[in-house]
Amino acid sequence: MQELEHPTRISLIQAALRQFGQQGFAAASTRSIAAEAGTNISSIAYHFGGKEGLRLACADFVASRVGQVARVLPGDPACLTRAAARGVLRRLLRRLVLFLTAPAAESVVAFLLRELAQPDSPVPERLYHTLIESRHRLLCRIWSAATGVPAESEDVKLAVFTIVGQAAYFRLAAPVVQRRMGWSGYPPAAIRAIARRLTANLDAILEAEHG
């Protein structure tokens, strides 16, 4: 745990997230990443074994941060009542909105978009096994508890992706949204408005599925 929280290691990961996201993995230089992190280039080899190791560490950092957002999820959705399951989904959605509208999410999302666009990137596979599959399956089970629809049905899987995707849009299209809404960044009132709108969308979908 101490190694994972080493200040130099964290600074390198944060600098790499920004530069990999802005320039792409191949174009970003380890010298520039080390300079931004305020350390020497040998620190990358020391902490990560090289540039590729740093890339995977960025993926693990993203998984850890998203995992913190999702810490409201229960271990066993089978014990949830319908009302409790809906409450869990609402809380998760609000936490996801808070995470994605924060300035720090910009580098995380830019990194993910770059890596997803690279056919030879190891990051999507890494994230699928460390984060996406398990969290998505759990969310599907919570959705099932909230609606009574089988967790592994095609419709439930798509519904979960849809809800996450709605929240992600406000980071992916932040400049467009902010310009159209007349917002400078995402002030607290804007974040509350987004959370209300998406929660209303969630409630409407859940009601329709239960009906």
Q: What is the pLDDT of residue 73?
A: 83
Judged against a pLDDT cut of 70, whether residue 116 lies above it is answered with yes
Judged against a pLDDT cut of 50, whether residue 2 lies above it is answered with no
180, part of any domain: yes
Q: What is the pLDDT of residue 70?
A: 85
**According to DSSP H, which parts of 26-173 are helical?**
30-37, 42-48, 51-69, 82-101, 105-116, 123-127, 133-147, 154-172
| Domain of residue 193, residue span | 7-210
What rounded mean pLDDT belongs to the chain?
Answer: 93
Regarding pTM above 0.85, the answer is yes
Q: Please count the structural domains in the chain.
A: 1
1, part of any domain: no
81, part of any domain: yes
* DSSP per position, 91-107: HHHHHHHHHHHSTTHHH
Other residues' Cβ atoms within 10 Å of the Cβ of residue 33: 25
Reported as a single tens digit per residue, the pLDDT across 161-208 is 999 999 999 999 999 999 999 999 999 999 999 999 999 999 999 998
End-to-end CA distance of the chain: 47
127, part of any domain: yes
2, part of any domain: no
Q: What is the pLDDT of residue 210?
A: 64
Low-confidence winner among 19-33, 60-74, 95-109 (lowest mean pLDDT):
60-74
Q: What is the pLDDT of residue 136?
A: 95
Judged against a pLDDT cut of 70, whether residue 211 lies above it is answered with no
Judged against a pLDDT cut of 90, whether residue 108 lies above it is answered with yes
Q: What is the pLDDT of residue 1?
A: 38
- CB proximity list for 183: less than 8 A, separation 6 or greater: 177, 190
Q: What is the pLDDT of residue 8?
A: 94
Reported as a single tens digit per residue, the pLDDT across 119-144 is 999 999 999 999 999 999 999 999 99
CA distance 199 to 96: 11
CATH number at residue 102: 1.10.357.10
Q: What is the pLDDT of residue 205?
A: 94
* Contact (Cβ atoms closer than 8 angstroms) between residue 28 and residue 20: yes
Better-scored residue on pLDDT, 78 or 98: 98
Query: What average pLDDT does range 101-116 have in this prediction?
Result: 93
Query: What average pLDDT does range 36-61 have in this prediction?
Result: 96
95, part of any domain: yes
* Contact (Cβ atoms closer than 8 angstroms) between residue 123 and residue 59: yes
40, part of any domain: yes
51, part of any domain: yes
